[in-house]
Chains A and B, each alone.
Chain A
């Protein structure tokens, strides 16, 4: 303890540093010393502080320089060279590196695969509204007080009764043999009894385990779950498909195909309502002009893409019979046309708004709210666009060949991405997002709920008018983090489960960088992709910095 007394110089309180640490009160009487000695001691002290500060930092900062800062500089340099393992790391060839300027980036933009992989990455991110909603739902359930006092015995009894009843039902139903029914009933019973006895912790643990263990092991597990035809998922889905097939066969094709029409109507309705909501946000002064325009543009994305997926063929000719039937092209025309009309309608309505009021506020106000809302509606429209052709083709699929069969999941061009998203959803319900929501839910002031109760709000109203707005900052954070993570994600899944296939359907930008950098060896090009990715992440981060706090204050 006596080693370091020199630091306790009496003049410390007046050292130039005292200004920087106001938390240090003057502990000793102020000895009047001559000014020179004081500044000398201050300088000595300053040097000492710096030495200590850097001394403690040294191991970390050396590593930081060696494995973060220097690589960063090299990566920056690499992106503008033609560095290729085959040309430059090959002892036989040792060609000099050539500075190629923006060539890598130009090549990247001209590369159709890049756009496909970017599309894949964005496609995977469309699972976010579902997984965030799942996390929120789980968090709300977990935030309830489950230890119902005297009710507990009753709860256990009811749980037991339900258990017995469900067992009997499952046995009667006979999903795939009694063993399976017993298994599910047994598991349900174990969870139920554990949950009743242990409360929310038990459930929370079970929810969080898929996220916690996520990695190569669980990806391999899901790869086996997704085995075509014989895998457990295929085995579970096949009976459902068979019964659907029966229904489709029994009903006239036109009835089934009307599902396509309904999907298209719903899609247009979603766009109509979504734009209407945005317009009202704008008229009520919650969103600025830029926010509305960006959100509306986001909402238009599915419509812009529908022509590419559906094509514009209005009639398909059956080669066998020569009969003509309506084709998906009607969907493209309908969505494009109705959206144009909807746009015109909303623009006309918006023009009648109180302009003096509307134009006074900042254009970027509430852009986070707008984009999050538009993104959610956009995903719903995408779902409609995706479901439409399923209804359209269902009669054909059900009556030709073997009837409805489960897809090859990971090996199917159309199903590879949705399959991985199903797996992602499984892991994402009980993720960090759920924990963050759980923490945020406990911070919602109880008075707000009481006030809502006095106003006679239903559960549903309580959620939308109290819980949801109070959780807005958390939601914003979760979304931003999800987008940042999503842009960089997908490498492990692609490498372990699909090798990026089939036909590049599951190759994300991260896997693309890996392939270029470590398999093909085009280091310069790969670095250029990595920096492009960084740019996207950076834009999202900037967005977060600029609008995150504003959103919180709303």
Chain B
């Protein structure tokens, strides 16, 4: 405790400083340590570490705290400097979805609809993309056929292309197919992914090939090999890709932005932007909407982070 003096350290609790973690140990590095000295030293350094990590975490958490507190404010208090509402307005969360409310300060948008649209599109894209990617990855990693590696290289090289290059012609294709402002137009182009194929191929390559041989000796067809053996073994990869794809689509902005025209088809990000541009003054409702779209992601992340962290560290970097 003695080395935490109240005044200047106060700011350092929220401002990570590189001086702190080293300072406590630099001076005593060469001192012959008694057992007690070592104990105290490790105690203060662990304590410092916790304080520093907490300070940084606080930085991360404060904007979300403001978001939640503001979403609970009465309409008149949104511009108050005070973070706390004078009374917690839980009904803000209901008002977000009430687009026919006669009171303009309580009028929301068709939020439930946006939510449902987002989940619908994301679920379909995820299902299709994981399926097609798993099949392609199986073909690229477990089957031997002429020209395989050349085609895979072609896939890989398209991952390098900025998605923006393809957006404009793709939109023209959508116009010609008549898919503009339809969910089909959102789902089908998203159902194929070079990234997903690559990620799952990497996972499938880690499965030992002796398994294939054993299956072949047992007379299993390629379909059985795929369905009964490789897919279950590639489960961590499948889960990782599922989360990546689902989150990516839940958050996807560019494509829905250019594709969707009618309000009842908006997905959540487009809906949020629509909310901001039409009812932008109702910050309390907007923050309630933002909270409702962010919190599920946080919860999902907390429970599934094991898979995500592994997927990212495997060298498969999102975006």
**Chain A residues with a Cβ under 8 A of chain B:** 1-5, 7-8, 17, 20-21, 23-25, 27, 46, 49-50, 52-57, 59-64, 66-72, 74-75, 78, 89, 134, 137-138, 141-142, 144, 146, 148, 151, 154-155, 158-159, 161-162, 165-166, 169-170, 173, 176-177, 179-180, 183-184, 187-188, 191-192, 195-196, 203-210, 212-218, 220-225, 230, 232, 235, 426, 429-430, 432, 435-436, 438-439, 456, 458-460, 481, 485, 487-488, 491-492, 495-496, 510, 513-514, 517-518, 523, 526-527, 530-531, 533-534, 537-538, 541
Q: Which residue in B57, B143, B146 is a CB contact (below 8 Å) of A203?
A: B57
Does B102 lie at the interface of the complex (its beta carbon under 8 Å from any beta carbon of A)?
no
Q: Which residue in B18, B52, B171, B269 is a CB contact (below 8 Å) of A215?
A: B269
Q: Across the interface, do B139 and A137 meet the contact criterion of CB distance under 8 Å?
A: no
Q: Known contacts being A68-B158, A216-B273, A435-B313, is A52 close to B145, with CB within 8 Å?
A: yes
For this complex, 30 residue pairs linking A to B, each with C-beta atoms less than 8 Å apart, are A5-B219, A27-B213, A60-B197, A67-B166, A68-B192, A72-B158, A75-B165, A141-B49, A146-B46, A169-B6, A170-B10, A176-B82, A180-B82, A180-B84, A187-B61, A188-B13, A195-B53, A196-B50, A205-B302, A206-B57, A210-B60, A212-B247, A215-B253, A217-B290, A218-B63, A224-B283, A432-B312, A439-B313, A460-B26, A495-B253
Chain B neighbourhood of A538, CB < 8 A: 160
Report the bound CA distance from A65 to B44 in whole Å. Answer: 61
A134 nearest CB across to chain B (Å): 8
Report the bound CA distance from A429 to B29 in whole Å. Answer: 30
Of all chain B residues, which has the CB nearest A533?
A: B162
Report the bound CA distance from A356 to B22 in whole Å. Answer: 43
Does B94 lie at the interface of the complex (its beta carbon under 8 Å from any beta carbon of A)?
no
Chain B neighbourhood of A154, CB < 8 A: 43
Q: Across the interface, do A75 and B273 meet the contact criterion of CB distance under 8 Å?
A: no
- Across the A-B interface, give the 10 residue pairs with the lowest CB-CB distance, nearest first: A63-B192, A53-B145, A74-B169, A60-B136, A56-B139, A216-B269, A71-B169, A215-B251, A4-B221, A206-B57
Tell me whether chain B's interface is mostly helix, strand or loop, or mixed: helix
Does B153 lie at the interface of the complex (its beta carbon under 8 Å from any beta carbon of A)?
no
Chain A neighbourhood of B18, CB < 8 A: 137
Q: Which residue in B6, B22, B61, B294 is a CB contact (below 8 Å) of A460?
A: B22
Q: Across the interface, do B164 and A510 meet the contact criterion of CB distance under 8 Å?
A: yes
Q: Across the interface, do A183 and B172 meet the contact criterion of CB distance under 8 Å?
A: no
Q: Which residue in B6, B135, B253 is a CB contact (below 8 Å) of A60?
A: B135
Q: Across the interface, do A64 and B194 meet the contact criterion of CB distance under 8 Å?
A: yes
The listed residue with most B CB atoms (<10 A of its CB), out of A56, A183, A184, A533, is A56
Q: Known contacts being A53-B139, A155-B47, is A212 close to B54, with CB within 8 Å?
A: no
Of all chain B residues, which has the CB nearest A165?
A: B6
Report the bound CA distance from A235 to B6 in whole Å. Answer: 24
Residue-wise interface mask of B (8-42) relative to A, using a CB-CB cutoff of 8 A (1 in contact, 0 not): 00100100101001100110011000000001001
Q: Across the interface, do A56 and B294 meet the contact criterion of CB distance under 8 Å?
A: no
Q: Which residue in B58, B197, B309 is a CB contact (below 8 Å) of A191?
A: B58
B245 nearest CB across to chain A (Å): 14
B138 nearest CB across to chain A (Å): 5
**Chain B residues with a Cβ under 8 A of chain A:** 1, 4, 6, 10, 13, 16, 18, 21-22, 25-26, 29-30, 39, 42-43, 46-47, 49-67, 70, 79, 81-84, 131-133, 135-136, 138-140, 143-146, 148, 151, 155, 158, 160-173, 175, 188-189, 191-192, 194, 197, 209, 213, 216-222, 224, 226, 247, 251, 253-254, 257-258, 268-270, 272-273, 276, 283, 286-287, 290, 293-294, 297-298, 301-302, 305, 308-309, 312-313, 317-319
